[in-house]
Amino acid sequence: MNISETERENHHQVKTAMQNLDRIISDRHQNPPVPFEAFLKTMVEKPHQVLRNVFQVFYDMVKTYVEEGEDEYPDDPESIHFVNYDCTELFVEGSDHPFFADRLFANRFIEQVESLRRGTQQNKIYIFDGPPGCGKSTFLNNLLMKFEEYTKTDDGSRYESVWRLDRNLLCRLVAEESVPLYDKVVQVMAQAPSEQQTDENDEDSNRPFLSFDQANGHDLQETVPFDDAFIDVPCPSHDHPIVMIPKHYRRKFLDDLLSNDEFKWKLFTEKEYEWIFRDPSCTICSSIYWALLRRLKNPLEVFRMLYARPYQFNRRLGEGISVFNPGDRPMRQNIMGNPVLQNRINNLLRDSNQVKYIFSRYAKTNNGIYALMDIKSHNVERLIELHNIISEGVHKVEDIEENVNSLLMALMNPEDKKNVQNLQSFSDRIEYINIPHVLDLNTEIAIYRNIFGKHRIFSASISMKVFCPGCCIILRVSSFQRG
C-alpha cells in the first residue's frame, strides 16, 4: 500500500466518523419546537409521560434506576419491613465518586420519593442531614447527575412552552387597527384639493404618504428583519404547555381530548395530577396570551402561535438544576431579562409594555431542582429567602408575581440546625431525611473495595459484641477475612 492509498483510507475513515457523529447528535439533540396541536397528539398517545411535573419525573427517574426491593420477612409481625433496595444503578454506576447507600437510608429515601408522587410535596424543602463524612455531597451530586441524564432520554423527556409570534400577521393587524386620529386627518387633508397648485416637478408631491409611526421612525415592517418571519419568546419559567389554557377551561378541554380509560380516571381524581387544574401560567405567558387575544379576537389563532419543545436540563448553565455552595456570593443583579426581545415584543404588540419579559433566578429552576449544598455562610441567606416561596409558591419581581414550583433540596450538618431553629414557621416546612454513617456490613465492604481495590484489602470486617458473664463486661471481637 503506497502513501496515496493510505491517505485516501485515512480521509475516508475521518469522513465516516464525522458523518456518524453528525447523525447521532442530530437524532438525539435536534428537537425543534412543535405546534400545540402536534403536541396534543403526542399527549393523547402518551398521556402518562407527557402530563408530568418535576415531582412525578423525579419519582419515575428513581423507579427506573432502582428496582422493587425484596422483603425477606413479609409475614413476620415483628419485622420493620426494611426492603433490600439495590441503588447501584442510581448512585454508583457511571459516577466518578460512587455513593453506597445502606439499607436504612435506602428505605428512607425511597419512602420519601414515593410521597412525592402522592402529591405531598407542596410547601416543603427536603434537607438531608448527617455528620461530616457520611457522603451527603456525593449523594446529591450523583442524584442530580442521574436526574439530568434521565431527562435527556425518551422516557424522561418533558415539554415547556414557547410562543412563536407571527410577525407579518401581527404587524398587519396593528397597522389596520391602531391608525391614530392624526393619520386620518392627514389623509383627508392630503386627498382634498389644495387652493394653491403645487409644481408637478416638486419631489415632495410624489412622495408616498407616511403614517404617524413611519414619520417617527417606527416603521412596522422594519422593526424585525424581513428574514425573521417569527419571533420566538420562550417561557422563562419553563411552564408546561397545558397550563397555557385558562384554568376554568382545562377540565372540559381534557375531558373532550382524552379517552375514557384508567389514566383519565386518575387524572381527574388523584392528587398527583392536581397541579394540571390548579397551577396558573407564568405572568409573562399570561400577558402574551391576553395581548394576542385582544389583537386576534380568536383563541384558535392564539394557540396556533403556541409551541412546545423539550425541557433541556443543564446544571452547569443553571437551566432546570441549580446548586449553590456556601461560598457562592449572591448575584448583584437579581432581576433578569432580554432587552432585545423586550424591544421586539413592544414594537410588535404595541400594548404599552403590558408584556414585561423580566424574571428572577428562581424562574430558571421552576419545574426543576433548586439545591443548597450546606446551610452555612451565604446559603443561610438563600434558605431564608425561600421562606415565602415555600409558604406561598410565589416570588415578587418588581411589580409582577412569579410562580415558583420547584423541588427544593439542601444538605445540612447537625451543628447547622441552629440557623433555622429561630424560624418556627419555617421549620414546620422542612422535611428531614437523615444520612447516618454506614451501618450495613455489606455496604461497608463495598466502600472499602471501591477505595482500596478488591485484591488489596480485606473483604470483610466483622465486629460483634460478646457479653462475658464472669466479668460482667462487654467484649468486642473483630475478625477479618482476606479477599
Q: What is the mean pLDDT of residues 159-164?
A: 95
For the ranges 22-26, 28-32, 271-275, 422-426, the maximum mean pLDDT occurs at 271-275
Q: Classify residue 108: in a domain, yes or no.
A: no
Percent pLDDT > 70 in the chain is 79
| Inter-CA distances, 129 with 64, 188, 377, 426, Å | 25, 77, 17, 17
Cα separation, 131 vs 149, in Å, equals 29
Between 323 and 189, the more confident residue is: 323
pLDDT value of residue 416: 87
Is the pLDDT at 474 greater than 80? The verdict is no
Please, what is the average pLDDT of the chain? Answer: 81
59: left (phi over 0), alpha (psi -120 to 50) or beta: alpha
**What is the sign of the dihedral through the CA atoms of 119, 120, 126 and 131?**
negative
Q: Are 10 and 43 in the same domain?
A: no
pTM, to two decimals: 0.79
For the ranges 188-192, 239-243, 373-377, 433-437, the maximum mean pLDDT occurs at 239-243
Q: Classify residue 247: in a domain, yes or no.
A: yes
| Domain around 12 | 1-29
Q: Classify residue 65: in a domain, yes or no.
A: no
Length of the chain: 483
Q: Are 297 and 419 in the same domain?
A: yes
Q: Are 416 and 306 in the same domain?
A: yes
Cα separation, 456 vs 97, in Å, equals 19
Q: What is the mean pLDDT of residues 196-225?
A: 41
* Whether 368 contacts 409, CB under 8 Å: no
pLDDT value of residue 410: 94
DSSP 355: S
Give the three-state DSSP class for 392: helix
pLDDT band at 115 (very low <50, low <70, confident <90, very high): confident
Q: Classify residue 378: in a domain, yes or no.
A: yes
Q: What angle do CA 28, 32, 34 make, to 5 degrees?
A: 125
Cα separation, 430 vs 434, in Å, equals 12
* Whether 254 contacts 269, CB under 8 Å: no
Q: Which of 1-10, 77-86, 191-200, 427-436 has the lowest mean pLDDT?
A: 191-200
Q: Are 322 and 362 in the same domain?
A: yes
pLDDT value of residue 438: 86
Q: Are 1 and 135 in the same domain?
A: no
pLDDT band at 475 (very low <50, low <70, confident <90, very high): very low
| Inter-CA distances, 166 with 144, 163, 260, 283, 285, Å | 38, 9, 36, 21, 16
Between 392 and 341, the more confident residue is: 341
Is the pLDDT at 443 greater than 90? The verdict is no
Q: Are 1 and 38 in the same domain?
A: no
pLDDT value of residue 457: 52
Q: What is the mean pLDDT of residues 209-222?
A: 39
Q: What is the mean pLDDT of residues 261-289?
A: 93
Alpha helix segments (H runs only) across 376-440: 378-392, 418-421, 424-427
Grid look-up 451527603 returns: 136
Q: Classify residue 58: in a domain, yes or no.
A: no
Q: Are 149 and 25 in the same domain?
A: no
Q: Classify residue 114: in a domain, yes or no.
A: no
Q: What is the mean pLDDT of residues 244-268?
A: 94
Q: Classify residue 463: in a domain, yes or no.
A: no
- How many domains does the structure of the chain reveal? 2
Q: Classify residue 442: in a domain, yes or no.
A: yes
Q: Are 3 and 148 in the same domain?
A: no
Q: What is the mean pLDDT of residues 369-397?
A: 88
| Inter-CA distances, 196 with 192, 208, 210, 478, Å | 12, 20, 22, 117
Q: Which of 6-10, 172-176, 329-333 has the lowest mean pLDDT?
A: 172-176
Q: Which of 134-148, 173-187, 386-400 has the lowest mean pLDDT?
A: 173-187
Q: What angle do CA 244, 248, 251 make, to 5 degrees?
A: 85
Q: Are 283 and 322 in the same domain?
A: yes
Is the pLDDT at 76 greater than 50? The verdict is yes
For the ranges 175-184, 201-210, 261-270, the maximum mean pLDDT occurs at 261-270
Q: What is the mean pLDDT of residues 449-474?
A: 53
Closest to 170 in 3D by CA, of 350, 391, 376: 350
Q: Are 21 and 38 in the same domain?
A: no
What are 282-328's pLDDT values in tens digits?
A: 999 999 999 999 989 999 999 999 999 999 999 999 999 999 999 99
DSSP 482: E
Residue 126, CB-side half-sphere exposure with 13 Å CA sphere: 23
Q: Are 128 and 246 in the same domain?
A: yes
